Amino acid sequence: MFTLIIKEYVQLYNDLGYRLSARLATKGETHERDGGFGVMMSNAHIAVGVASALALAQTGSVESCVAAVIGGSIGGIMADCDITPSRAHKDALRGRLIVAGIAVVAMLVDSRTDLGVCSYLVGHLGLPLVAGLFLFVALTFLGAHTDHRSFTHSLVAMAGFCYAVYLVCEPLLLYFAVGYASHLVLDVTNKQPIRLFWPLRAGVSLKLCTARGLANKIVCVAGIAVAALLLWYRLLPLLPV
When the beta carbons of 79 and 174 are compared against Zn ion, the nearer one is 79
Report if residue 80 touches Zn ion, rule: CB under 5 A.
Answer: yes
82 forms part of the interface with Zn ion (CB under 5 A): no
Choose between 92 and 117: whose C-beta lies nearer to Zn ion: 92
Closest CB to Zn ion among 110 and 187? 187
Q: How far is the CB of 51 from Zn ion (least distance, A)?
A: 17
Q: Report yes or no: 154 and 200 within 8 Å, Cβ to Cβ.
A: no
Q: CB–CB of 80/131 below 8 Å?
A: no
Residue count, binding to Zn ion (CB under 5 A)? 4
Residue 79 or 177 with smaller CB distance to Zn ion: 79
In the complex, minimum distance from the CB of residue 182 to Zn ion, in angstroms, rounded to a whole number: 11
Rg, C-alpha atoms of the chain:
18
Of 160-199, which residues contact Zn ion (CB under 5 A)?
187
The answer to whether residues 194 and 187 touch, using CB atoms and an 8 Å cutoff, is: yes
CB of 100 to Zn ion, least distance (A): 18
Residue 115, number of CB atoms within 10 A of its CB: 14
Judge if the upstream peptide bond of residue 199 is cis by omega within 30 degrees of 0: yes
Q: Which stretch binds Zn ion (CB under 5 A): 54-62, 72-80, 162-170, 230-238?
A: 72-80
CB under 8 Å, gap of 24 or more: what pairs does 109-115 form? Answer: 109/62, 109/66, 110/63, 110/66, 110/67, 110/70, 113/62, 113/63, 113/66, 115/63
34 binds Zn ion (CB under 5 A): no
Residue numbers at the binding site for Zn ion (CB under 5 A): 39, 79-80, 187
